[in-house]
Amino acid sequence: MASYKYHILVCGGTGCHSSQSNVIAERLNEIIADKHLENDVKVVASGCFGFCEKGPIVKIMPDNTFYVGVKPEDADIIIAEHIIKGRKVEKLLYVDPDTKKHISDSKHMGFYQKQMRIALRNCGFIDPENIEESIARGAYEGLGKVLSDMTPAECINVVKQSGLRGRGGAGFPTGLKWELCAKNSADQKYVVCNADEGDPGAFMDRSIMEGDPHSIVEAMAICGYSIGATKGLVYIRAEYPLAIKRLQIAISQAREYGLLGKDILGSGFDFDIELRYGAGAFVCGEETALIHSMEGKRGEPTFKPPFPAVSGYLAKPTNVNNVETFANVPIIITKGAEWFASIGSEKSKGTKVFALAGQINNVGLIEVPMGTTLRDIIFEIGGGIKNGREFKAVQTGGPSGGCLTKKHLDTPIDYDSLVAAGSMMGSGGMVVMDETSCMVAIAKFYLEFTCEESCGKCSPCRIGNKRMYEILDKITKGKGKMEDLEELRNLASVIKDTALCGLGQTSPNPVLSTLDNFWDEYVEHVVDHKCRAGVCKSLMRYEIDPIKCIGCGACSRVCPQDAISGEKKMAHSIDTAKCIKCGACYEKCKFGAISIK
């Protein structure tokens, strides 16, 4: 075996991949071959490092140098300078936004300092397409331990003791879920991995599957042994081609090594996994709808009970867990329940992965212990709000969640505190908003999403959400009345109480939480016909200040509607009847004469 002096890790997650990280890896390999360094340097396409804002990322080991924003043409300088001459390439190093100093070791970056990577333990460290690297990191040891030293009941007990709760959103205790399924006897049971990640802006599960697929394969086998199932199914959306490919590779490698299939590790336990593809419907993340979709039926939820643990896939007892939940299982088995339970807050143990998005400096994937405050996440790890603007709100939990505001910044994040604050954990999407976001428009956006994704089976969700959407639409157009706000609350509470599944029951949350936290903004829209963020176009108009206007005519030339008129060198004016509020004139004016009213 060649004794490599350097490993060059190139991020192979979807984000970096689409900014040509695969070309970077190819180019590196070309140069390495050209300079006869094949025995000294190894290029590894790894999973996501999380710091997507600064991608593509290239990390050089063993000196732990973290290069950001790397382009294919930078491959030459990395080899020529770093590998051959031992000099760090300064222009590719991360610059600390506060001190303006270069930081080469990721451990010293604000983005990583407060993180704790358990579910993401191997992402950005191993080559996800190589089972040997996973095994070297301890993959399948948990499975081996369970199969040779533990009874199914003991294994379930460890998961129960660890305090692990479902990472898909609702936070149901995982061990209890397994136990319920284990109790039901049947000739065939199923383990299902819910990889139908549907929240807008969420990519936690995708990154885990892309960066560490063996952790999912191993956890599903452990679950199968615990509940007495021999078949596993991964329900994954077809929009995740890279995750699908990596899972397929992982499953076939595991079979080849005897870690899936008949008589695993000589224990007599059989288990195998198949993939099922979803078409990307949001409601199919709900477990009963997911099961129907896998059966080839319409992706519609059904009433619970019966719970899937009793009658699930093909009417057999079925245990459904989310990707991130599974990713935690193998390490709980190897490190023990106590270790896991020592991390996190009182009722929420372990860590949670969040996808940071929106108006935040460090967009990316982070993992923090439960109980970390929003302030730490947004300002320490996330690096604060873009362009030095003011923080306004953070949306957690996707279309089922709510908006939290400044007063919630010091709330420790866990399942229960988020619900108490009027939002929910959800799968872990976090969309950060600044003062340029209109909260009424945000509520409308999420409702539009729910209306589109509602399966239409129950009337509260199908009709109720549509009516709420119409009212919000009226308000954003300046035609709302104060009674409408009352009506919104009414509708919301009826939908919450009567909708069939989790999608419907939680769909009014974005409206309710914005009504609670941003009541003034709703009233402004209704009473003053004003949108303070300047988002609701019907409520704003552009005006030219006749004193500042020098009559250059630049605005009238860019106006697509010919709505601006005026004599040369004289103040111009806008015909509001013709104006479509595109903002072209506002952008063009060099004299600050055009303002939004």
Q: Which one of 251-259, 273-281, 379-387, 548-556 is the stretch in contact with other proteins (CB under 8 A)?
A: 251-259
Interface with other proteins: number of residues (CB under 8 A): 37
Give which of 499, 302, 519, 282 is closest to 422, Cα–Cα. Answer: 519
What is the smallest separation between the CB atom of 112 and other proteins, expressed in angstroms? 12
269, 276 in Cβ contact below 8 A? no
- Please name the amino acid found at residue 456: G
C-beta of 87 vs 183, nearer to other proteins: 87
Q: Is 5 among the residues that bind other proteins (CB under 8 A)?
A: yes
Q: How far is the CB of 61 from other proteins (least distance, A)?
A: 4
Structure tokens at 493: 């509470």
CB of 44 to other proteins, least distance (A): 8
Q: Is 132 one of the binding residues for other proteins (CB under 8 A)?
A: yes
Nearer to other proteins, 3 or 185 (CB): 3
C-alpha distances out from residue 149 to 152, 259, 267, 564, Å? 10, 17, 10, 80
135 sits near other proteins (criterion: CB under 8 A): yes
Q: Which is nearer to other proteins, 126 or 227 (CB)?
A: 126
Q: Which of 35, 71, 114, 145 binds other proteins (CB under 8 A)?
A: 145
Q: Which stretch binds other proteins (CB under 8 A): 143-151, 349-357, 530-538, 576-584?
A: 143-151
* Binding test (CB under 8 A) with other proteins, winner from 133, 376, 487, 516: 133
CA-to-CA dists, residue 493 to 419, 467, 475, angstroms: 16, 13, 19
6 binds other proteins (CB under 8 A): yes
The dihedral built from the CA positions of residue 147, 148, 150 and 151, taken in this order, carries a sign that is positive
- What mask, x for binding other proteins by CB under 8 A, covers residues 384 to 423? ----------------------------------------
Q: Which stretch binds other proteins (CB under 8 A): 18-26, 81-89, 491-499, 509-517?
A: 81-89
**What is the sign, positive or negative, of the torsion defined by CA atoms of 439, 445, 449, 452?**
positive
What is the nearest approach in angstroms of other proteins to the Cβ of residue 229?
21
With 0-12 CB in 10 A as exposed, 13-18 as middle and 19+ as buried, what is 145? Answer: middle
Gap between the Cα atoms of 558 and 573, Å rounded: 14
Q: Which two tokens stand for residue 361?
A: 């400096």
Find out whether 484 and 471 touch, Cβ atoms under 8 Å.
yes
**CA atoms of 162 and 6, how far apart (whole Å):** 38
Pick from 22, 11, 111: nearest CA to 363? 111
**Phi, psi at 471, each rounded to 5°:** -65, -45
Q: Of 36, 85, 407, 597, which one interacts with other proteins (CB under 8 A)?
A: 85
Segment near other proteins (CB under 8 A); pick from 60-68, 517-525, 550-558, 581-589: 60-68
Of 333 and 432, nearer to other proteins (C-beta) is 333
CA distance 348 to 325: 13
> Exposed, middle or buried, 73 (CB in 10 Å: 0-12/13-18/19+)?
exposed
Q: Which of 30, 76, 154, 257 binds other proteins (CB under 8 A)?
A: 257
Q: Is position 136 an interface residue for other proteins (rule: CB under 8 A)?
A: yes
Closest contact distance (angstroms) between CB of 174 and other proteins is 24
Hey, how many other C-beta atoms are within 10 angstroms of the C-beta on 585?
A: 23
91 binds other proteins, rule: CB under 8 A: no
Q: One-letter amino acid identity for 61?
A: M
Instruction: Note whether 462 binds other proteins by CB under 8 A.
Output: no
- d(C-alpha 371, C-alpha 374), whole Å: 9
Strand order in the sheet with 65-67: 41-46, 6-11, 58-61, 65-67
Give least dist CB 66 to other proteins, A: 11
Binding mask 170-209 for other proteins (x = CB under 8 A): ----------------------------------------
Part in contact with other proteins (CB under 8 A); list of ranges 71-79, 103-111, 240-248, 472-480 = 103-111
Close Cβ partners of 3 (under 8 Å, ≥ 6 residues apart): 39
| Residue from the set 10, 43, 120, 147 that interacts with other proteins by CB under 8 A | 147
- Binding map of other proteins across residues 288-327, x = CB under 8 A, - = no contact: ----------------------------------------
| Site residues for other proteins per CB under 8 A | 1, 3-7, 9, 61-64, 85-87, 104-105, 108, 125-126, 132-133, 135-138, 140-141, 144-145, 147-148, 256-259, 265-266
